[in-house]
């Protein structure tokens, strides 16, 4: 996981990286970028944050990010990360937090 500065922090999570640590570290205004094609297996929780704003979760695929306002299709899946839930719970749980997923 690497953290850089922009409007908020850019937190990059590589394949095999710690997605939960990235969600825990992210503050409102930050962007969590998941490596395209990676698979994160687990039940991840996005805990509440104080303040105003949101956390953006996006793919590292520059091609998909450049297609603003365009819906993705199943053929785009290789350019995104997958969150796979091993149990009956959702793969990503949001607790009183607003998050934009791109």
Q: What is the pLDDT of residues 39-75, one digit of tens each?
A: 999 999 998 888 888 899 999 999 988 888 889 999 9
The strand pairing partners of 2, in sequence order, are 12
> Is 22 exposed, middle or buried (CB count within 10 Å of its CB: 0-12, 13-18, 19+)?
buried
Q: Does residue 58 fall inside a structural domain?
A: yes
Q: Is residue 97 part of a domain?
A: yes
Within-domain flag for 31? yes
Q: Is residue 47 part of a domain?
A: yes
Please report whether residue 68 resides in a domain: no
69 found inside a domain: no
Check residue 100 and give its pLDDT. Answer: 58
- The tokens 């690497």 sit on which residue? 2
Q: pTM for the full model?
A: 0.81
Does 88 reside within a domain? yes
Residue 53 Ramachandran class (φ > 0 left, ψ -120 to 50 alpha, else beta): left
Residue of 101, 83, 85 lying closest to 32 (CA atoms): 101
Look at the block and give the residue holding tokens 């687990």.
42
The number of folded domains in the chain is 1
Q: Is the pLDDT of residue 81 over 60?
A: yes
Residues of the domain holding 36: 2-63+74-101
Report pLDDT for 67: 87
65 phi and psi, to 5 degrees?
A: -65, -30
**pLDDT beyond 50 at 77:** yes
């Amino acid at each position: 996981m690497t953290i850089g500065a922009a409007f908020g922090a850019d937190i990059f999570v590589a394949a095999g990286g710690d997605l939960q640590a990235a969600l825990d570290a992210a503050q409102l205004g930050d962007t969590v970028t998941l490596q395209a094609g990676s698979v994160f297996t687990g039940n991840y929780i996005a805990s509440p944050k104080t303040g105003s704003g949101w956390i953006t979760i996006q793919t590292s695929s520059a091609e998909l990010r450049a297609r603003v306002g365009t819906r993705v299709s199943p053929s785009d899946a290789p350019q995104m990360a997958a969150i796979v839930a091993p149990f009956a719970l959702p793969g990503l749980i949001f607790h009183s937090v607003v998050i934009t997923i791109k």
